[in-house]
């Protein structure tokens, strides 16, 4: 499977009379883009705004950030499987991407209606939160979109994300026929057998147990988010967006998954330092001990069948999902596969361990620090001049919105950062120290 990835860097984006890319400038025909969004009769309202790094802008609330990509040749479509998009296997041929641009999904639609569990993410384009958020360095084309209010919450989710992909498709189509300034070829060529075989086990949250939704929120595999046994993906499929979708932390949006530094580093070291064997996508939040352990056993078995001598494990969630993840690390180690685990840490309060369950076999752990932003001691984020999205939110965490009559605050004002800074793939410039 061979994929050429053509990169079109974007220095600036502006609205104009036609959508085109020219020497780093992306011009966007706002009317045409919004018409593509309104092709879906279930979209009630939609608007498009641009936010640039360094501007005094806050984008609230953020459900997803998507990098515009398009298939130039090869089967399938980018971000496949979502809501009627082709499920044909991707990863072959050529794909073009607009680099440095994000299409931001801004909507009041929550991921499920069980209550008490809101999407509470925002992007600042300047200030302390911007400094530790990778998407703040992008030129963000923000789609503020609301579906028909009569729809069920799962259908609302579908409408909103489909609209975001319509914007992404329309922008990326502008570079489909152009010659990319940069071209990189991704292929798992035959590598010397003396190099260690390494598999990447990417654990992604399933909303099924919480929301009963099979496909409407969280990182989907070809659009599917339900609890399924581990999948084997070629890394090229991921570069074409076969693993993508909205999420509740900024570090697991579609943009971060296709730009995942671990995936790209493993790939670029293939044939040089290691043999990259593939990606085992491991869906988490199984709800019995036996299911958790079964999935861990099976993921490790797959890694062994692939001939792995080493494994890299990441996850994008918290809480009980830690069990199947860390048991996967343990199962790999017990099969003789040296395994490195990249994780954030729980709060250290009350003397509790900062990892839910210590496992002796997990002896190579890279930490990205505490995920609770309280421990980053950032204080309040400074006020901004302009808000893209909604001018008010419930005070404190959005969870407070479940309290009837909860006080509202202006989102342009000084507000706390989102509660979670959980760097699932090692993007940030934060440093850690042991004490």
Q: Please, what's the b/e burial string for 40-71 (b: 16 or more CB within 10 A of its CB; e: otherwise)?
A: bebbeebebbbbeeebebbbbbbbbbbbbbbb
Considering beta carbons, is residue 47 or 320 the nearer one to another protein?
A: 320
11/212 with CB nearer another protein: 212
Residues in region 201-230 near another protein by CB under 8 A:
209
Q: Which is nearer to another protein, 267 or 286 (CB)?
A: 286
Applying CB under 8 A, does 357 fall inside the site for another protein?
A: yes
Size of the chain in residues: 435
Edge to edge, the sheet with strand 12-15 lists 12-15, 25-28, 20-22
Q: What is the x/- site pattern for another protein, positions 239-278, by CB under 8 A?
A: ----------------------------------------
Measured CA to CA, the distance from residue 237 to residue 244 in angstroms comes to: 11
* Neighbour count for residue 20 (Cβ, 10 Å): 14
CA distance 169 to 39: 13
What distance in Å separates the CA atoms of residue 325 and residue 303, rounded to the nearest whole number?
Answer: 14
Per CB under 8 A, 320 contacts another protein: yes
Among 293, 297, 346, 400, binds another protein (CB under 8 A): 293
Compute the distance between CA of residue 124 and CA of residue 418 in angstroms, rounded to an integer. 11
Alpha-carbon gap, residue 276 to 271, rounded angstroms:
8
* Nearest residue (CB) to another protein, 289 versus 432: 289
> x/- string (CB under 8 A) for another protein, residues 157-196?
----------------------------------------
Q: Give the shortest CB-401-to-another protein separation in angstroms.
A: 24
Cα separation of 405 and 309, whole Å? 56
Q: Is 289 in the site for another protein (CB under 8 A)?
A: yes
Closer residue to another protein (CB): 44 or 356: 356
Peptide bond into 61 cis (omega under 30): yes
Nearest distance from C-beta of residue 354 to another protein, angstroms:
13
Of the candidate spans 99-107, 163-171, 189-197, 353-361, the one that interacts with another protein by CB under 8 A turns out to be 353-361
Smallest distance from the beta carbon of 358 to another protein, in angstroms?
Answer: 8
Question: Binding to another protein by residue 288, rule CB under 8 A?
Answer: yes
Residues that bind another protein (CB under 8 A): 209, 287-289, 292-293, 320, 323, 356-360
């Amino acid at each position: 499977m061979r994929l050429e990835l053509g990169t079109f860097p974007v220095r600036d984006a502006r609205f104009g009379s036609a959508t085109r890319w020219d020497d780093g400038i992306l011009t966007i025909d706002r009317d045409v883009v919004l018409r593509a969004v309104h092709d879906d009769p279930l979209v009630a309202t939609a608007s498009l705004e641009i936010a640039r790094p360094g501007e005094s802008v806050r984008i609230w609330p953020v459900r997803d950030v998507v990098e515009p990509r398009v298939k130039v040749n090869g089967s399938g479509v980018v971000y496949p499987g979502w809501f009627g998009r082709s499920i044909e296997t991707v990863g072959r041929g050529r794909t073009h991407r607009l680099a440095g641009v994000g299409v931001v999904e801004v909507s009041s639609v929550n991921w499920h209606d069980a209550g008490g569990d809101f999407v509470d993410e925002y992007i600042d384009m300047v200030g302390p939160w911007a400094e530790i958020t990778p998407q703040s360095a992008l030129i963000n084309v923000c789609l503020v979109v609301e579906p028909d209010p009569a729809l069920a919450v799962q259908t609302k989710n579908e409408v909103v994300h489909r609209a975001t992909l319509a914007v992404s498709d329309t922008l990326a189509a502008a570079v489909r026929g152009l010659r990319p300034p940069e071209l990189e070829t991704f292929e798992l060529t035959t590598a010397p057998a003396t190099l260690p075989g390494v598999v990447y086990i990417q654990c992604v949250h399933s909303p099924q147990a919480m929301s009963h939704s099979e496909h409407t929120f969280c990182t989907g595999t070809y659009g599917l988010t339900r609890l399924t046994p581990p999948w084997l993906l070629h890394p090229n499929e991921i570069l074409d967006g076969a693993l993508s979708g909205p999420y509740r932390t900024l570090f697991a949006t579609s943009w971060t998954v296709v730009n995942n530094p671990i995936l790209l580093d493993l790939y670029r070291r293939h044939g040089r330092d290691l043999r990259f064997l593939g990606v085992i996508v491991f869906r988490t939040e199984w709800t019995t001990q036996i299911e958790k352990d079964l999935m861990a056993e099976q993921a490790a078995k797959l890694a062994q069948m692939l001939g792995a001598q080493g494994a890299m494990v990441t996850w994008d969630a918290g809480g009980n999902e830690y069990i199947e993840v860390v048991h996967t690390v343990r199962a790999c180690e017990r099969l003789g596969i040296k395994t490195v685990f990249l994780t954030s840490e729980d709060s250290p309060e009350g003397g509790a361990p900062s990892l839910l369950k210590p496992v002796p076999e997990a002896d190579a752990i890279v930490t990205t620090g505490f995920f609770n932003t309280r421990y980053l001691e950032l204080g309040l984020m400074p006020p901004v001049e302009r808000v893209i999205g909604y001018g008010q939110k419930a005070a404190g965490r959005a969870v407070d919105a479940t309290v009837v009559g909860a006080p509202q605050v202006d989102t342009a004002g000084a507000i706390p950062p989102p509660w979670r800074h959980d760097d699932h793939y090692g993007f940030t410039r934060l440093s850690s120290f042991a004490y």
